[in-house]
Amino acid sequence: MLRKIVLVGNPNVGKSVVFSHLTGSKVMISNYAGTTVEFTSGELNTEKESFELFDAPGTYSLTPSSKVEEVASSLVDQADLVINVVDATNLERNLFLTMEVLERDVPMIIALNMIDEAGHKGVKIDIEKLESLLGVPVIPTVAVSGEGLKNLIDTLPRAVNKITEPLDTAARWVHLGALVGEVQEIVHRHHSWLETLQDASLRPLTGIPIAAAVLYIAFQLVIGLGELMAGFIEKYFFEGLYEPLLAYLSNLLGGSGFLHAVLIGRLIDGEIVFEESLGVLTTGVFVEFGVVLPFLAIFYLVLGFLEDSGYLPRLAVMVDRGMHRLGLHGYSVIPMVLGFGCNVPAALAVRNLESRREKFIACTLMAVAVPCMAQLAMIIGLVGRYGGAYLAVVFASLFFIWIVLGLIIDRVMPGYTPSMVVEIPPYRIPSLKAQSKKLGMRIKGLIVHATPYILGGILLVNILYTVGFVDYLGYIFTPIITGLLGLPGEAVSTLLIGFLRKDVAVAMLVPLGLSARQFVIGTVVLAAYFPCAATFTVLVKEMGVKDMLKSAAIMIVTAFTAGFVLNLLLDTIIPAAYLAFGLVAMALILALVLGSTSDRRELSDIDRVA
């Protein structure tokens, strides 16, 4: 069996960067605490020996007080050797964990990472002295560029198992204060422009306009560039090249029959229509590569920049006040933002939140009101045809649901959401290489994970139609679907497929020949009613079956209520544009007027404790 090496260290010190360099395997890396929530493992081959390398989630201490810390702590217990990655710009704080590792019975070496950044910040460290005081090898590294990592590997045989006397927390800090005083010298120097921006994005007067601008630009970029790219691909690839090919195939198959239905789908006026035909090769391929992929690529490009620059934690600070009203704190904005890409990683990121209450609220709100990019791309493309006002109604409805549901759950659910304590990383200029690597990983992930679901979903639709199951279901559910939502009974099939892939489900609304208002109702219900299978699996794991059932009940009730209300109001009483505006305004007013209950509950709880 291979010997185990574990990378441990504080959050956001670059463990994953070291890991991906040493193993050559690809892992997600960003500039904020909590990117890695589970451990990853890979093989590390040196000239003499092969090891199994583990990338532990970042932790400040080995005293397990959260799930993430438990993972790190148990990894250290199983390790044959520990590489402690230390942020050279924050020596004292990082060495606290180092001391805890030293107290355990395991050989270790230290990677003194970001030594270049420490230099820029005027922090000088006497590495030899640090080595002799700690009693373990200390190797300076710059993981992003790979500097020092060869040296780190060569030092592995010199790892020392130096069991020190356990100290209590206070004594450790006293000891560290003295130690760091001996090895570190700080030279004062002027603020860089990044640091000036850093301060500006944290002050409300400048920070809120910055946050608004960042979100607006990100939104515009995704929509604008996404549409541009999708249009380009549709025109030159799908219409120019692919359609003639499929038309030929359609002829070959005789224009009808089961195989034709599955592969090509229905012909509309004798022609293939990519959005409507519902064949594996027509709609299936088109949805994935013609619509979802371009939007998702642009989204992840923008997200990658936000993640690596270190802006997201600052956004968390700016929205903290508002999020408290929904029973969450600012840091839960990160899963929400991730959710717009795909709900699966977002559900995993919820693990960074402390309490069961927060996790429940964050998961539920995310699953109900944050549509993933695949679904959004379809919504933008298909609802957009009816005009911007209808698109606005979809977004406004989801925003309204997000706010009002949060306000309600926060009031109904016992307990309170404690306020956050988060480290704010310095701004860093994202490297082009890291960005393209990350984008490549995410796009590959989409293609690998989504393709079977998209194609399988369409296959299933065709089978269900062919055997008459859709008609049967439509007949049974007509009272609900038609009576409540004003949609044709067949629309129930989209809810069925939505569990597999929401993007395909939205596409399935097209052949139903819906009016604008019906299409809006259909998409909102589809977005909110239930997460897709992939998300559902992760949510069950993160929340437990009991909470997931409660959450699912909330989702279903919310979706149908929203659909019913839209059916009552949209275009019958209130025109689309006014309704969109009204929903957003009402949500904001409700949030402002109702305020937050958490502060009061948290403060009274403290009084009780104190």
Applying CB under 8 A, among 41, 74, 90, 561 the residue interacting with another protein is: 90
Minimum CB separation of residue 542 from another protein in Å reads: 22
- Residue 57 CB partners (closer than 8 Å, separation 6+): 11, 34, 36, 37, 38, 39, 68, 71, 72
Residue 316 interacts with another protein (CB under 8 A)? Answer: yes
- Whose Cβ is closer to another protein: residue 359's or residue 502's? 359
R_g (Cα) of the chain, nearest Å = 27
Nearer to another protein, 163 or 603 (CB): 603
Q: Can you give the three-state secondary structure of 203-234, one letter per residue?
A: CHHHHHHHHHHHHHHHHHHHHHHHHHHHHHHH
Residue 424 near another protein by CB under 8 A? yes
**Residue 121, SS3 per DSSP:** coil
Q: Is 34 in the site for another protein (CB under 8 A)?
A: no
Say how many residues touch another protein, by CB under 8 A.
46
Regarding 610 and contact with another protein (CB under 8 A), the answer is: yes
The stretch near another protein (CB under 8 A) out of 77-85, 243-251, 412-420, 446-454 is 412-420
Which strand (E) or helix (H) includes residue 348?
Answer: helix 343-349
Piece of the chain touching another protein by CB under 8 A; list 104-112, 260-268, 314-322, 403-411: 314-322
By the rule CB under 8 A, 603 interacts with another protein: yes
Residue 350 CB, shortest distance to another protein, in Å, is 18
Binding segment (CB under 8 A) for another protein, from list 73-81, 153-161, 317-325, 584-592: 317-325
> Between β-strands 3-8 and 40-45, what pairing exists: parallel, antiparallel or unpaired?
unpaired
Comparison of 151 and 604: residue with beta carbon closer to another protein? 604
Strands 108-113 and 138-140: parallel
State how far the alpha carbon of 591 is from the alpha carbons of 397, 554, 582, in Å.
15, 20, 14
Pick one of 60, 390, 427, 530: the residue that binds another protein (CB under 8 A): 60
Rounded to an integer, what distance in angstroms lies between the CA atom of residue 139 and that of residue 157?
13
Count the alpha carbons within 13 Å of 206 in the hemisphere toward its beta carbon: 8
Q: Mapped to the 3 state alphabet, what secondary structure does 302-332 carry?
A: HHHHHHHHCCHHHHHHHHHHHHHCCCCCHHH
Helix axes 516-528, 388-412, angle to 10 degrees: 30
Q: 50, 419, 466, 515: which one contacts another protein (CB under 8 A)?
A: 419
Closer residue to another protein in complex, CB, 202/590 = 202
Which backbone phi and psi does 184 adopt, to 5 degrees?
-115, 140
SS3 186: strand
For another protein, the closer CB: 201 or 375: 201
Phi-psi region of 389 (alpha: psi -120 to 50; beta: other; left: phi over 0): alpha
Binding mask 162-201 for another protein (x = CB under 8 A): -------xx--x------------------------xx--
Based on the shown chain and the rule CB under 8 A, indicate whether residue 466 belongs to the binding site for another protein.
Answer: no
In this structure, are residues 576 and 390 in contact, taking their beta carbons and an 8 Å threshold?
yes
Minimal distance, residue 389 CB to another protein, in Å: 34
**Of 423, 435, 478, 586, which one interacts with another protein (CB under 8 A)?**
423
Please list the residues that pair with 42 across neighbouring strands: 53
Give 242 or 427: the residue with its C-beta nearer to another protein.
427
Residues that bind another protein (CB under 8 A): 60-61, 63, 65, 89-90, 92-93, 96, 121, 123, 169-170, 173, 198-199, 202-205, 207, 313, 316-318, 320-321, 324, 329-330, 418-424, 596, 598-599, 602-603, 606-607, 609-610
